[in-house]
Every structure is written in structure tokens, then in C-alpha cells.
Amino acid sequence: MKEFYTIGETAALLGVTTQTLRYYDKIGLLSPHHTDPVSHYRYYCYHQFHLIDRIRYLEGFGLSLEEIRQIIRSGKVDQLLNYLREQRQETIRELRNLQDRVKDIDWYLDYFSYMGTQKAGENLYRIQQPERYIIKCPCYYREPLPDMEIRLAKVKSRPEYAHVKFHRQYGYSLDIESLFHREFYPREYFIFLNQKPQELAPSQYDVLPEGEYLCIRTQLLHEDWDPEPLTAYFSNKERPKLTLAMEFEDNLVDWSDAWYELQALL
């Protein structure tokens, strides 16, 4: 076994770069065992190999080089264990965030492909919906759509919603009698929260009730859409307790032709 190894030999043996070893030296994490005063060549000894290996696996756990430097300087297992416990908790938080991101991606995959699973036109169908959570703003009779959007944007920008996650689906609660007369009269405009917001007070969001909804797919903003299937269904029945229009984007440029799913709570 050699007494000293050059920086190049050390890097090759341990699978690191010479730049990495020089950086470890620069920040006071690990200096070469010997530096030739004339040539300034750096030499490492065999006993330093396990320190380099330890630095690498601790980096792999997500510890910073400064944290690793403190651990090595202390030489105490207890300090290493404390850092590992903290990093374990941080990794669990990151894992939960990643799992939440996967759920959000799945939601958007369903959102953009949902209308492809439903038949357009006059067919009524029923779906069961869970409890859903929204923030909303009021709408006024015959006001332009941009006014509603600006009003809702102002609600979303309030400080209490700064850390709230939204699902980018918009919808309206509709006046049913106007709907039956082919008139688009939204009472409220809303956007979905991605889950029940634990950080908000109940007065800061609204709940769409779970239950069975009678649905039809239509291009609601077109003047020639036909409400007849709905009016025929409710002609001799009690009016729905809640009627919603859920927007589904079918392209990323023009929303005027967007498809809507009308949902009438039975």
C-alpha cells in the first residue's frame, strides 16, 4: 500500500473529480494530508479515503457541505445522528410534496381528457360527486364575462389565499329558470381549491355538496345551445337544489368555444 496518493489518483479511486477535492480543501472540509512546498502537488493518504466516502454518502442524503463539515469536526456520532434525524424529517416533507404534485398532475390529466370520455349533445347522464371546495365572487345580470374574471382574480389575490393551492377549473352557479329559457345568467363565479383548506376559516371558502348530479355536456356560451333535455326532465319534477356549469378547456388558445358540463344536484 502506498503512503501517499496524488489528487488525480485519489479522485479516480473514489469516483470524484479533482475539482471536487480542491473545493473540499478550499472550504475547510477536507485538506490533503500533504502538499509539496515546491511543486504544490496535493497528496492524500489512505486513511482519508473513508472521510471522502463519508462526505459523499452524507451529501447523497441531502446534507449540506457546511453541515458535513460540522459533523466531521465534532467527530461525534451523536451530532451525526441529530443531522440524520433532521434530514429524515425534511426528506419525508419533500416526499409528501412530491406525492401532492403527482396528485395535482393526475387531476389535470383527468381535467383535460374528461370531456373525451363523455358524449356530446342531448344525452343526459348522472355522476356522483364528492364534497368540493371553492372560492367565489358574485355575478350580476348581463355583465360581461371579463368583469367576473377580474372580480374573482381580486378575491384570489387576497393575503389569506397566498399559500392556498388552486385547481385551475372555473365554474358558475346558475339561475335555473333563466337556464331553461336559454339565458346564461350566472349567480356566482368560482374556482376550485385542490383540497379542503385546513389553513382557512370556514367563512373563507365555500363547499359544493356531495351527491348525485344530473349532467349534460354543452357549449354553454353559444347562443344556439339547446336546454330542452334538461327542461323536459324537470318539467314535472322538483327543481334542482343547485345547478352548476363546469368549464372544461379543449384548447389552450380560445376559451369562447369551451365545453361545459352542466351539473344539476338531484
pLDDT, tens digit, 9 for 90 and up, residues 1-12: 688 999 999 999
What pLDDT score does 222 carry? Answer: 78
**Model-level pTM?**
0.77
What does the pLDDT read at residue 123? 83
**Nearest CA-CA partner of 16 in 68, 71, 53:** 53
Residue 250 near residue 258 (C-beta atoms within 8 A):
yes
Phi–psi pair at 163, nearest 5 degrees? -110, 15
CA distance 106 to 62: 28
Predicted pLDDT of residue 122:
59
pLDDT under 50 in the chain at which residues?
A: none
Q: Helix-strand-coil percent breakdown of the chain, rounded to 5? A: 40, 25, 35
CA distance 175 to 203: 23
DSSP-assigned beta bridge partners for residue 133: 207
Percent of the chain exceeding pLDDT 70 equals 97
The closest alpha carbon to 263, from 168, 130, 161, belongs to 130
| pLDDT at position 15 | 94
Are the C-beta atoms of 91 and 180 separated by less than 8 Å?
A: no
- Tracing cell 445522528 back to the chain, one arrives at 81
Q: What is the C-alpha to C-alpha distance for residues 159 and 54, in angstroms, rounded to an integer?
A: 45
